[in-house]
Structure 1
Amino acid sequence: MRAIRIHAYGGPEQLRVEDVPEPHAGPGEIRIRVSAASINPFDGKVLGGALAGGAPLAEPIGFGFDASGVVDELGDGVDGVQLGDDVFGLGSQTQAEHAVLTAWVAKPASLDWAVAGAAGVASETAIRTLDLLGVGAGSTVLIDGGSGGVGAAAVQIAVARGATVVATAGPSNQDYLREIRATPVVYGEGWAERVAATGVGPFDGVFDAVGKTPIAELTALVDDPAKVVSIANFSATEAGARLTTGGDGDKVGALTEAARLLESSQLVIKTQTFPLDRAAEGYEAILSGHTRGKIVLLP
């Protein structure tokens, strides 16, 4: 099968589409014929070697953590899904023609394959973080970085839960934030004063979706630094804030909530698609840090 791989860390120029052996579903897993797989910011970090501690890449690696597709293999102990079912969810090395998923839900029939392929990581991350903040009806939350894949999902999910949302983004995305029913604020110098000028608050929680704003500026918005949860600032805990990564949370529960919101159009994910052979262009867009919604690869 064809899959995205690299043989050395670096930029998008390192990406290759290569023929590799097909993966197979292990116990509790399924394999899908991939219809769409998204590129997430974490893929960009892996590509650049940010997690390697300066060591060179020892062997070729693949990319991708979420996808949509048709089930074509069931692992031992799997029930509730059949060969030929349409699903989306979370897995590994999903930027390929076949991929193994470890958490999944049925794809609503009305949902576009590209949107379903973009939903896994963004919605699970958003829901996990909102749950840690206790965001629900009557909550007031600030989402720093509200126009990217995770941030935009978090805005819409929080609004669907009945929360009031202020979100930051660049000047070109202010109208988009209004479209998804957040009070928009331009990020950058003076952003805290602009947040105060909205008249919204006090905040029950702050969701740091991008890791660019100094954590001390975010914790200043709440009465307890633990009410700030970051998915991108790995030094957040030094200031008393919390950091969440992909190892915790109810993944199937989050995907189920996302599927319901997507089907009812309470969650809308904007996508830009590229064929697998043009993956480098998609990665360049992700690495620019100025995307709106999600970048999706179509094998």
Structure 2
Amino acid sequence: MKKVSFAEFGGPDVLHLIDAEEPHAGPGRIRIAVRAAGVNPVDWRVREGQMLKAHPLELPAGVGLDAAGVVDEVGEGVEGVEAGDHVFGEGSSTYAEFAVLSAWARMPEGLMFQEAAGYPSVVETALRIIREVGVLPGQTLLVSGASGGVGSAVLQIARDRGIAVIGTAGAANQDYLRSLGALATTYGDGWAERVRQLGRVDAALDLAGSGVIRELVGLTGDPRKVISIADLDAPALGVRFSGVAGSVPDALAEAARLISLGLLHIPVQRSYTLAEAAAAHTDSQAGHSRGRRVMVL
């Protein structure tokens, strides 16, 4: 099978499309014929060697956590799913023609593989950091870097829970944030004052890692009310860095519920082939996305 792999840590150029042996579903796992794989910032952080404590691995290694596809192997002890089912979920080395998933859910009716692949890690992360930051219905959440996949999910989940959101993003994404129910403002000089003019901030999320932790603490008045998923130096300022997943099966079930009810939709900004994995990582690292990037097979 074809698979994206890297044999050394480094930039996007270390990614190569290779011929590899097919993986197989062990106990409690399923294998899918991958139709699409999500491109997440954690993918290039792993490729650079930033995440070795959270994601230890031996080289050469595959790439990717999220995928959607057709079940073709069911491991021992797995119930409720069979060959031919369409599922989306999390596993390992998902930039490949076949991948083993450790958590999955049936794809909601009408959802395309390309769309489904963009949800698993994004929704798990969004649900986790909303919970960890402790924001409550009726309060206001500030989201720095709100237009990407996680931000898109956070805005819609918060709206469903009665939490007001202020989102920051580039000028081109202001209307997009407003379409998801957020008050919007731009990055750049004076952004914190622009946020203050929009209202009180009870909690804040840093999704972009653009050096805004001090301002977020100032806006909330409490470092314990700020969570970052992108700035590895956040703990030095008393802010929690959230990088360990919670219950992925529960998150996938909630994603499927919200999608089925029409309460969650994350657009696919761009799709790539496996041979374009390096370009996908380059674009992901550049940021300024609207929605998700995915690999399509």
Report the TM-score when normalising by structure 2: 0.93
| Structure 2 gaps, min length 5 | none
Match of 1:118, SS state, is coil
| Structure 1 gaps, min length 5 | none
C-alpha contact 2:44 2:281 (8 A) present in aligned 1: yes
User: Once the 2 structures are TM-superposed, how far is the Cα of residue 155 of structure 1 from its aligned partner?
Assistant: 1.1
Residue aligning to 2:265:
268
C-alpha contact 1:71 1:82 (8 A) present in aligned 2: yes
Distance in 1 (CA, whole Å) between partners of 2:223 and 2:279 is 38
Distance in 2 (CA, whole Å) between partners of 1:135 and 1:261 is 20
1:17 aligns with 2:17: yes
* Cα deviation code 1:221-262 (max 9, x no counterpart): 224321111111223223222221134x22111111111112
1:185 aligns with 2:185: yes
User: Once the 2 structures are TM-superposed, how far is the Cα of residue 189 of structure 1 from its aligned partner?
Assistant: 2.3
1:231 aligns with 2:229: yes
Distance in 2 (CA, whole Å) between partners of 1:58 and 1:99 is 18
Distance in 2 (CA, whole Å) between partners of 1:115 and 1:39 is 12
Taking a change above 3 Å as real, the CA distance of residues 59 and 154 of structure 1, as seen in their structure-2 partners, is same
Taking a change above 3 Å as real, the CA distance of residues 90 and 22 of structure 1, as seen in their structure-2 partners, is same
Residue aligning to 2:293:
295
User: Once the 2 structures are TM-superposed, how far is the Cα of residue 132 of structure 1 from its aligned partner?
Assistant: 1.3
1:138 aligns with 2:138: yes
Distance in 1 (CA, whole Å) between partners of 2:138 and 2:60 is 48
Letter of the 1:187 counterpart:
Y
C-alpha contact 1:185 1:195 (8 A) present in aligned 2: yes
Taking a change above 3 Å as real, the CA distance of residues 99 and 137 of structure 1, as seen in their structure-2 partners, is same
Residue aligning to 1:252:
249
Distance in 1 (CA, whole Å) between partners of 2:276 and 2:184 is 33
User: Once the 2 structures are TM-superposed, how far is the Cα of residue 58 of structure 1 from its aligned partner?
Assistant: 6.7
Distance in 1 (CA, whole Å) between partners of 2:236 and 2:18 is 42
Residue aligning to 1:69:
69
User: Once the 2 structures are TM-superposed, how far is the Cα of residue 136 of structure 1 from its aligned partner?
Assistant: 4.6
C-alpha contact 2:206 2:212 (8 A) present in aligned 1: no
Distance in 1 (CA, whole Å) between partners of 2:232 and 2:41 is 14
Distance in 1 (CA, whole Å) between partners of 2:52 and 2:108 is 38
Distance in 1 (CA, whole Å) between partners of 2:185 and 2:97 is 40
Letter of the 2:272 counterpart:
F
Taking a change above 3 Å as real, the CA distance of residues 139 and 26 of structure 1, as seen in their structure-2 partners, is farther
Distance in 1 (CA, whole Å) between partners of 2:202 and 2:284 is 30
User: Once the 2 structures are TM-superposed, how far is the Cα of residue 95 of structure 1 from its aligned partner?
Assistant: 0.7
Distance in 2 (CA, whole Å) between partners of 1:38 and 1:104 is 14
C-alpha contact 2:134 2:225 (8 A) present in aligned 1: no
Match of 2:28, SS state, is coil
Residue aligning to 1:26:
26
Residue aligning to 1:241:
239
Residue aligning to 1:285:
283
Report the TM-score when normalising by structure 1: 0.92
Count of residues in Structure 1 that have an aligned counterpart in Structure 2:
293
User: Once the 2 structures are TM-superposed, how far is the Cα of residue 61 of structure 1 from its aligned partner?
Assistant: 1.3
C-alpha contact 1:124 1:255 (8 A) present in aligned 2: yes
User: Once the 2 structures are TM-superposed, how far is the Cα of residue 158 of structure 1 from its aligned partner?
Assistant: 0.9
Residue aligning to 1:5:
5
C-alpha contact 1:136 1:158 (8 A) present in aligned 2: no
